[in-house]
Chain A
Amino acid sequence: MPGSASSTHRPEGLIERLRSAAADGGEAKLKDLRELKNQIIGNRTKKLSYIKLGAVPFVVSILSSAPYTSDSLLIQCAATIGSFACGVDSGVKAVLDAGAFPHLINLLSHSNEKVVDAGARALKMIYQSKVAPKYDFFQEKNMEFLISLLDKNNENLTGLGASIITHSCQTNDEQKILGDAGTLKRLINLLKGTTSQRDASLESFATVIKENPQVILEFVGPENGRTWGTLIELTKDRYPRTRLLACMCLILIRNAVPSYLQSVGIRTKLILILLELIDDSGQVGDEALFTLSSFIADEEGLQKLAFEANTIVKLCDHMQKELLQPKRLEGMLMILANLCSNLECCRSALLQSPKTINIITDALSHAAVDVCVAACICLKNISRSVKYLSAGNFMTEAVILPLVRLLHDTSTSVQVAALCTISNLVIAFTTHKSIFVQNGGVKHLVELSKSMDSRVRVNAVRALRNLMFLVDSRCKEGIFLELRALSLTSLISGNPIVTPRDTSACVQEQALGLICNLVNGPVDSIEYVFTEDALLLNAVGRQVWSSSKPEVLIQGMYVLCNVASGKEFQKEAVMCQILPESSKNDTQSIMVTMLQSDVAQLRTAAVWTIVNLTIPTGAGALARVVKLRNAGIVSQLKNMANDPCLDVKLRVRTALGQSMIFGDFST
């Protein structure tokens, strides 16, 4: 007796019929399988429901009895499996767990082309998922199979080959082996095919060449000259995704071989195409944003072209028109960040749009980490404008408070991004620095200067250094109290147990720069390095004698130079630091070593120190000149009268002139 219509079509009913068909070993009703397929196509809920009910193994078992199964049933099975896998990772997993993979591969060598097509389509669906099995390109058999797919005159098979490459090619070695096997040439040939074939090939091509100049260089050449032309033609294709993929490939080639894509005309065209693609509200639009961002990232010329193409106006419109999804917002922020990395005109243009600046500032508090980081980078690049830093544009609570909060973020990349931004903003130039100090900023920076993460440590100390630049006396005192001489000393000296030698030098350089700024300004600032029995001054002196890094020595020497511009006893203290101990008469003064350095900046710093020590008006000037002469420093200066660096030459002249006031030391 026939059951009611509802029970016939209920999932459980359908599953039962499939199970009994499978258990019988006989052929399942084609109609039932087709019904299952029709129910699940395009219906994620139904797919998940049937997966949960365990439908997949029954379908696969039909496939596994392939020699005894009709072609029509095989086609329906493969299509159903493909549908389960399409866009649903759990479907892919269920299909793979049920052992469908080898059976689908077997279908590819079936005599019936429709069966081959169905098998290929199903495998393509699987390979579009990240949970698909990784294809091992290093196995010769696998590579032969892949190449055979690309050589077929069948869109589904070539599409499968391309999908496998896009899915599984991840490392430079894999790119190389694919390049060596001639896949690039085959993928380019497929660009003449249908839209989906073209897009699949473009995507694969991009995967193989991405960030691998070697592979590109081996491919591009006179014999492959038409590749470039083909790709350029495809940037005019009527389908947005094809245009996007063609742009991506051109940009990837150009990134590896900079002599390509030099024409201003083509560069501008690519920018305009990408800008137009940004209007697409889907994945094409999102990817266009990141493609444009990476295109202009490292080159001022491209940033200028993008600016002239009104990129800023367009992005500001987008950002103000609607609430953006996190990925789109991140992409737009990165483009703005790259535009502002070098060009003042871009920073000015952006700052003319207060609404956009508010959106950027608000993004500092976004829930998505990547958006926060992008907002930090954007703000950091805008704040490279000394003009706007000086105007105090950025020193507001709306900007500072969220940044200070980000210093506590659990993600190190967020902390580092916030630190880099703060590092620029606190240069401030005016009394606006107090906003940062009043909101606990110094405390946080000091804390982060002790972080175990070297990036956090370096950036925190750099921020402190910049904060200390031209800061007023009251603020300076507050910062120094928070910092403490002892912790500054340990930053200068470095702790080799905690930090590797190279990053220690970066921190030392910033810490010495901080002290240099500390003792600059009103002359009583010099007293800071004399507190606690000249703890800081002695630490600086030790570094100057022991470090081998020019960047550390330059900063250390400028600290001594600044101290030497103070009172008599302070100048004498510097003399003690730079001259060897009296018991070690055969030791060369560190000053001679500095003056003989290959690094012009270091020679400059050293000569300035001597200029300060030999200022004739000082009571002890004569005695210092004698000591410097005895240490061989004056004769070293005479050797530098024609120093190739103009700055050094002029200061040497001043120092010698001052020394000569006390008598000629030529004998």
Chain B
Amino acid sequence: MTYLLATGWTGDGKDGLASGDGRQQWWWLAADDETGDRRWVFIPSPFDLLRKRQYCQNLVVTAKMPVRMVESPAPASSSGANPGQTSLQPCSLLSVGQTFSGTQNVSSPQKEEAWRVNVRIQGCDLNHGYVCGTMEALNVPMADTPVVTFWEGEIVDTKNYTFFTNKWKATSEVDIDHWTKFPSFSPLLSQVEVDGGKSLDLSNYQYIFMRWKEQYFVNVGADCGLTIAGFYYVCFSCVDGSINGYYYDPNSSPFQKLELKTTNEGRSGFSFSSYELQ
């Protein structure tokens, strides 16, 4: 079912309807352009124009009437997800068990340095835009052993997450500065600058953009002298599984680059494994 976009509709929050429990609920009467059916559509937040657009995109708003919540037949949407977008297509190189190795450039103005890095994917849930795994840094000078961290990733699918981070001290300017470092991002830049890329359909794009945030140290204490306060902007190539990333932490050297390729653990080809959560 599709809806037509209304013109001249502003919605300024003055038409809120009391729900009976002191909180305001918002119901708008909208018409389906195909069938002409009128239905009440629930909007969770009247003060967020962007979100209103998500719900009311393609809606013809014909009237605003008080309605008793108890009689409402319209489906409510509580997750805030963008109803128009679909999840990204699965990529077998970004699946559980897959390993990648390469380097992270941790150079500072005082010293040039790079760590060898191995990454393993442990979880991947495209419906929720979630991926996670471990990162192992070798030849870290202050550590006796490789340092392993567990990270969780947000997949930029415009459904669950957009290109705007909105947390971790990353402003939209910081976001754009980092994303533009990936050549594969340039066709997307103009739309991202407008709305964070919300209206983009990335389901057939050959690159997957993510943010990886390390959550804890697996095998060393938090006092090991290393920091996991920042996060990585990541670009994954579905073609060959190569990964490029940039670490962002306002208190660390900027643009530390992460470069990884798939590893085959001595094999002549690609190998796969899986588990099934109950």
Q: Which A residues are closer than 8 A to B by beta carbons?
A: 225, 228-229, 232, 259-260, 262-266, 269, 300-301, 304-305, 380, 384, 386-387, 389-391, 420-421, 423-424, 427, 429-430, 459, 462, 465-466, 469-470, 510, 513, 516-517, 519-523, 558, 561-562, 564-567, 571, 604, 608, 611-613, 615, 617-618, 645-647, 650-651, 653
Contact = CB atoms under 8 A, between A and B. Distances in A.
Contact of B76 (A262, A389, A561, A612): A262
B70 interface: yes
B13 interface: no
Given A562-B271, A612-B270, A301 B91 contact: no
B276 A465 contact: yes
Nearest to B203: A646
A666 B273 CA distance: 35
Contacts of A462: 276, 278
Nearest to A563: B271
A105 B184 CA distance: 84
B252 interface: no
Contact of A427 (B264, B266, B277): B277
A523 B73 contact: no
7 smallest beta-carbon distances between A and B, as pairs: A612-B269, A565-B269, A386-B123, A520-B273, A565-B267, A263-B69, A420-B278
Contacts of A647: 89-92, 238
B270 A565 contact: yes
Contacts of B267: 523, 565-566
A229 B20 CA distance: 13
B10 interface: no
B252 to A, nearest CB: 24
Given A523-B265, A523-B267, A608 B272 contact: yes
A228 to B, nearest CB: 6
B251 interface: no
Nearest to A518: B273
A390 B122 contact: yes
B71 A301 contact: no
A466 B275 contact: yes
Nearest to A651: B92
B157 interface: no
B75 A387 contact: no
B76 A264 contact: yes
Contacts of A423: 276, 278
A225 B215 contact: no
16 contacts: A263-B19, A390-B134, A390-B218, A391-B150, A469-B96, A510-B276, A513-B276, A516-B272, A520-B271, A562-B273, A565-B271, A567-B268, A571-B268, A646-B89, A646-B91, A653-B239
A269 B69 CA distance: 13
Nearest to A525: B271
A540 B141 CA distance: 47
Nearest to A226: B70
Contact of A386 (B75, B132, B268): B132
Contacts of B264: 565
A604 B270 CA distance: 12
A650 B275 CA distance: 24
Contacts of A390: 122, 132, 134, 150, 218
B227 interface: no
Contacts of A562: 271-273
B243 to A, nearest CB: 16
Contacts of B21: 265, 269
B152 interface: yes
B97 interface: yes
Contact of B275 (A387, A427, A613, A617): A427
Nearest to A524: B266
Given A391-B218, A608-B272, A225 B150 contact: no
B272 A520 contact: yes
A523 B263 CA distance: 12
Contacts of A430: 218
Contact of A469 (B97, B269, B271): B97
A556 to B, nearest CB: 13
B74 interface: yes
Interface in B120-170: 120, 122-123, 132, 134, 150, 152
Contact of A517 (B72, B216, B270, B273): B273
Nearest to A262: B76
Contact of A650 (B72, B123, B239): B239
B79 interface: yes
A198 B46 CA distance: 40
A424 B91 contact: no
A469 B123 CA distance: 12
B74 A387 contact: no
A520 B270 CA distance: 10
Among B75, B122, B264, the most chain A Cβ lie within 10 Å of the Cβ of: B122
B100 interface: no
Contacts of B215: 387
A229 B70 contact: yes
Nearest to A517: B273
Contacts of A466: 275-276
Interface in B93-110: 96-97
Contacts of B35: none
Among A228, A562, A564, A646, the most chain B Cβ lie within 10 Å of the Cβ of: A646
Contacts of B89: 645-647
A544 B171 CA distance: 52
A301 B79 contact: yes
Given A386-B132, A429-B122, A265 B19 contact: yes
B275 A469 contact: yes
A259 B75 contact: yes
Contacts of B123: 386-387
A27 to B, nearest CB: 58
A85 to B, nearest CB: 41
Nearest to A519: B271
B103 to A, nearest CB: 23
Contacts of B23: 265
A645 B215 CA distance: 33
B152 A387 contact: yes
Contact of A516 (B44, B79, B218, B274): B274
B119 to A, nearest CB: 13
Given A264-B25, A387-B152, A424-B278, 5 more contacts: A469-B274, A470-B120, A522-B266, A565-B271, A646-B89
Nearest to A421: B278
A387 B214 CA distance: 11
A470 B278 contact: no
Contact of B278 (A225, A228, A259, A380): A380
Contacts of B73: 259-260, 262
B209 to A, nearest CB: 15
Given A263-B19, A647-B238, A225 B271 contact: no
Contacts of B275: 427, 465-466, 469, 517
